[in-house]
Chain A
Amino acid sequence: MKQGIEGETGMLKEPKKANRRHVELAQKILEAANERAMTEGERLAEQAIANICNVSRTPVRKAFQVLAERGILLRDADGSYRFAIDPVKAVRLDDSSDATPEDDVRAAILRDLAAARISDTQTVASLQRRYGVTRLAVQNSLMKLSEENLAERGAGQQWLLKQFTVNADSGAKSYEFRLAMEPLALTMPDFKRDTTAILSLRQSMLALRAMDETNFDRRLFQRTDMDFHILIAKCCGNPFVAEALISHHTRRFALPTNVHPGTFRLMQSNTEHIQILEQIERGQMTLAADLMRVHIQLSQAVRPRLAGRGVPPSLKMTTR
């Protein structure tokens, strides 16, 4: 059955989307605001922001509109904008806006691969049939997946999708990789602290720490979680390690996950992030690396595989 990108049920239909460049700029503005410790109610000067972001005022105005639509900025009667919330509490902006057909096909391929709806061996023609899009759109999607190291050319017309990135074991293998690499990144001789970024990230984490189990903002946590791990990769001072880690983190935050941690675990995880940042700020990198090892091990989902009345305990082995 052909699954058009628009889908028989309109699966990918969404309301009119903002321009991707404006969303990206809006995200950049948020980061700049955090670095400058801006707070709720503070006005944003259009020209100053344009200078910081190295763009003209017109896209800045558009980006302000994006932020206002998401409730982050308020537009005053005189047309100026101010923060409606403390920017440290802003979640990451959805960057799926203004997606191209290639983006949609790429996302659908990954989603369907993760859900075992398609096999890991495909051809352009088979994907074209499934998604009802042009040959060019499929080719471009595969090229993009190839650039991201998520697909590679196989024999003849075939493409091999890298199922190890999305299968049931991918989470465990990801933790294994991170356990080896992230403490290493923290102890690289050229590790350079980005104190401004650390300070701004800590503010967001402290905002999370002030929340309890009933009002914990999981989306804000997702943002700080990603920013935290990528910050460490960026700061490590070794371009090879940085590249490997950033690529891995980008992929793991973008792909579907089969891990559903409870809110309490996320709260603990936030506290662990803060503790690691504190040690980085103090220059205690070995201690930070040790805390990172603990953090990653605690984050591994461990559940009994088989449980029930009368099930012998030796069967209830756990998986990681």
Chain B
Amino acid sequence: MTQEKTIAFFPEASYGAALNCVGIAQQLRSMGSRPVFICHPGFSDVFAEYGFPEYHLSDEALGGKTDWNEFINRHQDAFKQSPYAQLESYVRPTWDAIVETALAVEQPLRQLLNRLKPDAIVLDNVVMFPAIANAGVPWVRIVSCAETEIPDANVPPYLSGLSAEKSADWDAFMHEYAHVTAPAHKRFSAMMTECGLKPPPAPLFLGPSPHLNLLLAPDIIRYDRRKPLDPARFVYLNGCVRQEGEYQPPVFAAHNDGPLVLTSFGSLGAMDVSLVKQMIDVFAGLPYRFLVNVGQWRDEYTAVPDNVFVDGWFPQSSVVEKASLFIHHGGNNSFCEALYFGVPSLVMPYCWDGHDNARRAAETGVGRSLPRYDWQPADLAGAIEGLLGDTGMQQRLKANALQMQAHAGAHLAAEKILQVAKAKPDQAAARKTTSRRGGETNA
């Protein structure tokens, strides 16, 4: 009898990464493995809801309370800026916070991995944790951000939202990105070196795994790389969607037979209640049904139009499956789910790789982008009507969805992870390999 393999998932504390890992873990469980989840502080119970054991990292090292209002106000302003301006106002402090978290969890993570003794570790994050590289077992990297996270001469800079057509803006953005991330990278490099590991070159915070790297990037939006990724270590999943229960849309008081449109900007994006209310005003005049994810601010909404339903949570993948259009922030998980079910995207980005996906959606003809703040009601209404009326795009997306579903990315990922786990080298060999390859940037 094959010994049950314990696979430790360590996704970052965002819904996109977390739910992407859930999809793969469901497949591993069906194959007889034992997936477990290592949770960042404050991100618990998400995995238990899907029946997976959770192991929590202590949050004692992460300091006191943060001022909620200050955090929201600061980022509300940043989200109104261009990707370039956000480098200073959002990307720099975010990398600072990410590295701070990586430093804080290093010791508890090392202790936890020592006790767990997994057969493989799956890291879905944007930063490396030395405890993982030094755990003595193979580790797998999941790139659940946009494909721009893995640099290439033909791929526009990460987080820039720039076109695939090379321009001087690429260099300007890369230069400024390197500048704003330098302090965080310095601290990160010191941590890696202290732990006996070679840090990836600036401005990278995470190099490829020497064992296996899984990219969500669906074929339909992939870039034509100058240096193709090594297929022995880089596997494109062509999407990766978890199993959710069936979703029954609520009854609407108007246009109940109209096409269904889901709007979700993630928990961070929902914080701008005023913006979402402006959008709802536009929705009220359109002959469609709108589901709007308003996060924890549901009670802020009164006099909701008859063709709109607001809620604090939706089982997203099940809803997207029934939707005719998905308005989102360009989070990679949302974008991939839309493609997986053949649904056009209207991307209204506000940060991180949402800018890259907004540009890519328009460039590859799988949707449109609209600036999150710079629009008139007619622009938003026109974009929605245009996408819902674009039968050519819809047919192309449906055909692509069939291919993606047949590719079964979550199943493929699980198979590849198991192969890696079964080929577990002894601890010393793994450590040596990981340390030696720590500085690689790509294939």
Contact = CB atoms under 8 A, between A and B. Distances in A.
Contacts of B439: none
A294 B45 CA distance: 15
Nearest to B309: A115
B229 to A, nearest CB: 23
B153 interface: no
Given A307-B13, A307-B266, 4 more contacts: A112-B306, A262-B245, A264-B50, A309-B12
Interface string A295-320: 00000011111111111111111110
Interface centre among A167, A213, A307 (most CB of B within 10 A): A307
Interface string B337-381: 000000000000000100000000000000000000000000000
Interface of B: 12-15, 18, 26, 40-46, 49-51, 59, 62-66, 68, 71, 93-98, 101, 126, 243-247, 250-258, 266-268, 271, 295-296, 298-299, 301-306, 308-315, 352
A263 B253 contact: no
A3 B41 CA distance: 47
A167 B98 CA distance: 36
A265 interface: yes
Interface in A206-258: 213-214, 216, 218, 256, 258
Contacts of B18: 307
A213 B244 CA distance: 9
Given A314-B64, A317-B42, A309 B309 contact: no
Contact of A260 (B13, B298, B314): B314
B51 A117 contact: no
B31 to A, nearest CB: 13
Interface centre among A111, A112, A303, A312 (most CB of B within 10 A): A312
Contacts of A264: 49-51
A309 B268 CA distance: 10
A3 B254 contact: yes
B9 to A, nearest CB: 16
Given A266-B245, A316-B13, A260 B299 contact: no
B253 A262 contact: no
A41 interface: no
A304 B42 contact: yes
A218 B268 contact: no
Contact of B268 (A3, A112, A268, A306): A306
B61 to A, nearest CB: 10
Nearest to A213: B243
Contacts of B64: 314
Given A308-B14, A312-B71, A314-B42, A111 B255 contact: no
A8 interface: yes
A319 B71 contact: no
A312 B49 contact: no
Given A115-B310, A117-B305, A313-B41, A261 B49 contact: yes
A283 interface: no
B243 A116 contact: no
The dominant DSSP class at the A interface is: loop
Given A7-B256, A8-B254, A213-B243, A117 B304 contact: yes
A306 B271 CA distance: 9
Given A304-B46, A314-B65, A260 B267 contact: no
Contacts of B12: 309
Given A9-B254, A318-B44, A309 B94 contact: yes
Nearest to B145: A309
A311 B14 CA distance: 9
B116 to A, nearest CB: 21
A225 to B, nearest CB: 14
A11 interface: yes
A43 B49 CA distance: 42
Contacts of A307: 13-15, 18, 43, 266-268
Interface in A1-41: 1, 3, 7-11
B296 A309 contact: no
A110 to B, nearest CB: 11
A211 to B, nearest CB: 13
Given A8-B254, A263-B245, A311-B13, A258 B312 contact: yes
A313 B13 contact: yes
A305 B296 contact: yes
Contacts of A318: 42, 44-45
Nearest to B247: A260
B26 A213 contact: yes
Interface in A256-301: 256, 258, 260-268, 301
A265 to B, nearest CB: 5
Nearest to A318: B45
Nearest to A130: B253
B253 A313 contact: no
Contacts of B101: 313
A1 to B, nearest CB: 8
A136 interface: no
A307 B308 CA distance: 25
B71 A315 contact: yes
Contacts of A260: 245, 247, 313-315
Given A258-B311, A261-B49, A310 B93 contact: yes
Contact of A116 (B15, B65, B246, B302): B302
Nearest to B318: A260
The 5 closest A-B pairs by CB, nearest first: A316-B42, A310-B94, A264-B51, A11-B256, A310-B97
A155 to B, nearest CB: 21
A111 B315 CA distance: 20
A311 B263 CA distance: 22
A263 B243 contact: yes
27 contacts: A7-B256, A9-B254, A9-B255, A9-B256, A11-B253, A115-B304, A116-B302, A168-B312, A213-B243, A262-B50, A263-B245, A266-B245, A303-B46, A304-B13, A304-B42, A307-B43, A307-B267, A308-B13, A309-B126, A309-B352, A310-B93, A310-B96, A313-B42, A313-B43, A314-B42, A316-B41, A318-B44
Contacts of A301: 49, 313
A55 interface: no
Contacts of A111: 250-251, 253
A45 interface: no
Nearest to B296: A305
Nearest to A118: B303
Contacts of A1: 254, 306
Nearest to B294: A168
A258 B51 CA distance: 21
Nearest to B15: A307
